[in-house]
Structure 1
Amino acid sequence: MDNSPASWAPAPAVLAVAWLITALASVGTITTAVGGDPRGAILFGLVTLVAGAFALHSTLVRPRLSADSRGIRAKTLTGSVLLPWGITRVRLRTTRRLGRDGVTLEIEAEDRLLVFGRMDLGEDPRDVLDVLSALRAG
């Protein structure tokens, strides 16, 4: 593998569905409010808020994680942070919840711990770890 940069973000299809749900839920909020159903409007409003927050976050922090020969760059709502390879420790964590194994990628650097799941990365964290290991070694 070469030293070209790699990046990961939520899948575009997931992002599109989140924005579609936000739009449909906002229409539902308005329709139920105008129709005189305040409880329905509150429920649709909550769905709009949650789906919109997810969609906005996923849009603003693209790409969520990137890496090159210098190190790893993670993007958050407060900005991005560059973590040089020399101070980072990357590992997988498997957790069993509701009868299923969930795999997350953990990146530890000094006093920071960043955790990324499949939804954050758009692909399996195990595959991302393989690419990160190759970049680090290269």
Structure 2
Amino acid sequence: MLAYSTIGTNDMDRARGFYDALFAEMGAKRMFDMETFTSYGVGPNQPMFAIARPYDGKEATVGNGCMVAIAAKDPAQVKALYDKARSLGATCEGEPGPRMNGAFSCGYVRDLDGNKLNFFCMGA
């Protein structure tokens, strides 16, 4: 249902370095790459994740209650993505593991700009 999600950054180069390394863990690469916008995906006609400088020229801010869930193939990849993000400077918002009585597995981090990410898969 979703085509892509975009989060803001105030430092495109730093954000690109973080997401290039993070998404390499799942075989995703840059799909569109412009001065103020970069998107990542695993192929054409697949959902994408994008980083951008705000169009209005103002500073990017983190929305309270906003979060982007990134699909992982299994709990091992949830942990691998979480660990990779942490090694790249992300802060912990919730250790990886089962949630909701094992209905799904996830791990939460905040990226270098403070955006909240959830690495997620169904089942634990």
Name whichever structure is richer in helix by fraction. Answer: 1
Q: TM-score, normalised by structure 1?
A: 0.26
Name whichever structure is richer in strand by fraction. Answer: 2
Larger Rg: 1
